[in-house]
């Protein structure tokens, strides 16, 4: 009951946030004409602003948030560790590296899906490395240390590739790939990322039963008929597809996958399976809210989404580490 109410409330919140995201922008448009313009009515310039600028931005923020939130919940469920998060442990950073390499080598122009697929391959590499290092018990220390190493390496290589680019704007681009943004993206970007993200979310949704069973321990889960190898593969593929595609168009946005499952876990009575859907909705609402903050706080300074997310996420991360340390002591 509680879970159903929470899911309904989160859905309503996402709808509300999409509405707010469409109505708040750099140009002051009145809500009435703005909504009419969304359906192609009224002043042609307002129609362009609504349909070609604000709509793709809201859509992208929602799907990217859903991808990050659900991936975070799935990884935390699989590793049984609240610190596993695509941004923190270098999955987003590796995906960004893949995207930058695809763009700078010209591979992205080869065929439509080349950009998100390259990001996906790099994200998969990072997830696989982490599963290997953290092992089945998911020790916090190993996970965090491996995450630091993978993030740092991916960030450094991203900067290197951009520094070597002949394009003088490439250096300024480092900030985008390390912090992320959904500003001024078009429907082309949405159509590039959304199918892969949705496919990734669908794969992750399949893991709900397995993750619930896993709370009893691996042996108990196997006894309940859950194949651990298959579960790991599903989380790996789903996370790589969702985070890879999201990062390919919006850069590496951190902390969403950490904050959202953490906030929603008590409401979901600590059932990782149910937490998946809730985290997808919560992630969408959170990224939409952060993107609204970007536009409301410093409208003319091109504040990056990742900055706002880190301001929310980093203190919480410290709090989690503090609590984990106490539990270990």
Binding residues for other proteins (CB under 8 A): 25-27, 45-46, 48-49, 52-54, 103-104, 106, 108, 162, 165-170, 172-173, 176, 184, 186-188, 299-300, 302
Minimum CB distance to other proteins, residue 110 (Å): 13
Minimum CB distance to other proteins, residue 22 (Å): 12
DSSP string of 10-61? HHHHHHHHHHHHHH--SS---HHHHHHHHTT-S-HHHHHIIIIIIHHHHHHH
Q: Positive or negative, the Cα torsion across 262, 235, 58, 250?
A: positive
Minimum CB distance to other proteins, residue 284 (Å): 22
Minimum CB distance to other proteins, residue 60 (Å): 13
Enumerate residues 6+ apart whose C-beta is below 8 A from 59. 190, 194
Report the alpha-carbon distance of residue 97 to residue 118 in Å, rounded.
Answer: 9
- Supply 7's token pair: 């899911």
Q: Which is nearer to other proteins, 56 or 282 (CB)?
A: 56
Q: Which is nearer to other proteins, 99 or 134 (CB)?
A: 99
Minimum CB distance to other proteins, residue 295 (Å): 9
DSSP helix, strand, coil percent of the chain (3-state; round to 5): 75, 0, 25
Q: Which is nearer to other proteins, 46 or 207 (CB)?
A: 46
What is the residue whose two structure tokens read 């301001």? Answer: 311
* Cβ 85 vs Cβ 142: under 8 Å: no
Report the alpha-carbon distance of residue 197 to residue 229 in Å, rounded.
Answer: 23
Minimum CB distance to other proteins, residue 44 (Å): 8
Helices (H) and strands (E) in the chain, counts: 15, 0
Minimum CB distance to other proteins, residue 38 (Å): 14
Q: Which is nearer to other proteins, 35 or 133 (CB)?
A: 35
Q: Which is nearer to other proteins, 136 or 191 (CB)?
A: 191
Q: Which is nearer to other proteins, 111 or 322 (CB)?
A: 111
Minimum CB distance to other proteins, residue 158 (Å): 12
Q: Which is nearer to other proteins, 245 or 278 (CB)?
A: 245
- Supply 307's token pair: 């900055």
Enumerate residues 6+ apart whose C-beta is below 8 A from 271. 3, 212, 215
- Supply 46's token pair: 């307002």
Enumerate residues 6+ apart whose C-beta is below 8 A from 14. 62, 281, 284, 285, 288
Minimum CB distance to other proteins, residue 91 (Å): 21
Q: Which is nearer to other proteins, 26 or 39 (CB)?
A: 26
Which candidate, 267, 327, 321, places its Cα nearest to that of 85? Answer: 321
What is the residue whose two structure tokens read 């859950």? Answer: 226
Q: Which is nearer to other proteins, 24 or 228 (CB)?
A: 24
């Amino acid at each position: 009951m509680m879970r159903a109410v929470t899911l309904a409330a989160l859905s309503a919140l996402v709808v509300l946030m999409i509405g707010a995201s469409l109505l708040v922008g750099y140009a002051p448009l009145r809500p009435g004409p703005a909504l009419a313009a969304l359906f192609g009515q009224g002043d042609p310039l307002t129609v362009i602003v609504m349909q070609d600028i604000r709509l793709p931005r809201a859509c992208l923020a929602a799907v990217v948030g859903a991808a990050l939130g659900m991936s975070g919940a799935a990884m935390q469920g699989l590793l049984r560790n609240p610190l596993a998060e695509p941004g923190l442990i270098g999955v987003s950073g590796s995906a960004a590296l893949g995207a930058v390499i695809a763009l700078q080598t010209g591979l992205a122009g080869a065929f439509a899906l080349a950009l998100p697929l390259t990001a996906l391959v790099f994200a998969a590499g990072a997830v696989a490395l982490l599963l290997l290092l953290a092992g089945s018990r998911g020790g916090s220390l190993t996970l965090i240390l491996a995450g630091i190493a993978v993030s740092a390496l991916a960030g450094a290589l991203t900067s290197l590739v951009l520094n070597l680019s002949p394009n003088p704007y490439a250096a300024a681009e480092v900030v985008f790939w390390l912090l992320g943004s959904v500003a001024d993206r078009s429907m082309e970007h949405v159509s590039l990322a959304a199918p892969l993200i949705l496919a990734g979310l669908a794969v992750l949704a399949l893991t709900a039963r397995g993750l619930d069973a896993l709370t009893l321990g691996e042996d108990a889960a196997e006894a309940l008929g859950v194949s651990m190898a298959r579960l790991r593969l599903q989380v790996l593929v789903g996370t790589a597809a969702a985070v890879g595609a999201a990062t390919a168009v919006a850069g590496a946005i951190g902390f969403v996958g950490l904050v959202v499952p953490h906030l929603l876990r008590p409401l979901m009575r600590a059932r990782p399976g149910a937490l998946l859907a809730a985290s997808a909705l919560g992630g969408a609402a959170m990224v939409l809210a952060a993107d609204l903050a970007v536009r409301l706080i410093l409208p003319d300074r091109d504040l990056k989404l990742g900055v706002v997310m880190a301001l929310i996420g980093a203190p919480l991360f410290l709090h989690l580490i503090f609590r984990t340390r106490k539990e270990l002591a």
